[in-house]
Amino acid sequence: MEKKPPAPHLRDIFLTFLSISALTIGGGYAMIPVFADRIVKKQWMDEKEFYDLFAMGQAVPGPMALNTAVLAGNRLAGFPGAVVSFLGIMIPPFVTIIFVSLVFTRISEFAFVRGFLKGSYGVVIGLVAAMIVKMLKKQKWSVLELVIAVLGAAALFFFMNYSLPIFFGIALLCYAVNRNGVNRK
């Protein structure tokens, strides 16, 4: 019978998730393979168990990497493990945002900073548009779904101040349409 390693110390859980959050660039989807690698190498759980937690983390509202870390921490050390995992994941972006906001207020008047931000805006729009096009190509659309998507996008564009009610209205409409079974073509 294989001997299971002892439960990790809370400090180790915290430092593992803190280092991953501080050093992984690319957000949640970039963090998940790093989580899996570290947790499996430390023999805290096997890969299948981790990816089962990851699947549960995607089902819970909120940031996927944070949800997965909290679920993993909970599995490793109960509620205290969930708390230290949460803190480990949240501290680096929190500190970074505070630092950037302090620095940004001092440098935002420089022309090259404004130029960089204007250029970044275009790049972000291009990246999001490329992702949307890729997703749209894979989606099979009914005529009704296409009409809802186009009208919803137009409403969000022209009535930005009402984006939250429009978003929830679109979500409810899509739910009603899918619940009643739209014929896919």
68, 82 contact by CB (below 8 A): no
Q: How many domains does the chain have?
A: 2
DSSP 62: S
Among residues 107, 123, 142, which one ends one of the domains? 107
**How much of the chain, in percent, has pLDDT values that exceed 90?**
29
Tell whether 52 and 141 lie within a shared domain. no
Write down the pLDDT at residue 69: 93
Residue 2 lies in a domain: no
Same domain, 18 and 69: yes
Distance CA 40, CA 109 (A): 47
C-alpha 29: how far from its chain's center?
Answer: 7
Residue 24 lies in a domain: yes
> Which amino acid, one-letter code, is at 22?
A
How high is the pLDDT of residue 177? 74
Answer yes or no: do 57 and 17 share one domain. yes
What are 1-19's pLDDT values in tens digits? 556 667 799 999 999 999 9
The most confident of the ranges 62-71, 119-128, 166-175 is: 62-71
Range among 90-99, 154-163, 166-175 with highest mean pLDDT value: 90-99
Shared domain check, 138 and 89: no
Q: Tell me, yes or no, whether 48 and 72 share the same domain.
A: yes
Q: Give the end of a domain, one of 80, 107, 134.
A: 107
pTM (global) more than 0.75: no
Whether 102 and 131 map to the same domain: the answer is no
The helix (run of H) or strand (run of E) holding residue 117 is: helix 111-138
Same domain, 54 and 77: yes
So what's the pLDDT on residue 143? 80
Q: Are 125 and 133 in contact (CB under 8 A)?
A: no
Distances (CA, A) of 94 to 145, 155, 165, 182: 39, 33, 29, 43
Instruction: Calculate the average pLDDT of the chain.
Output: 83
Q: How confident is the model at residue 66 (pLDDT cuts 50, 70, 90)?
A: very high
**pLDDT computed for residue 1 by the predictor:** 52
Last residue of a domain, one of 77, 107, 137: 107
Residue 138, pLDDT > 90, answer no
- Check residue 10 and give its pLDDT: 95
Residue 118, pLDDT > 60, answer yes
Which residue segment(s) compose the domain that 62 sits in? 10-107
Examine residue 14 and state whether it is found in any structural domain, yes or no. Answer: yes
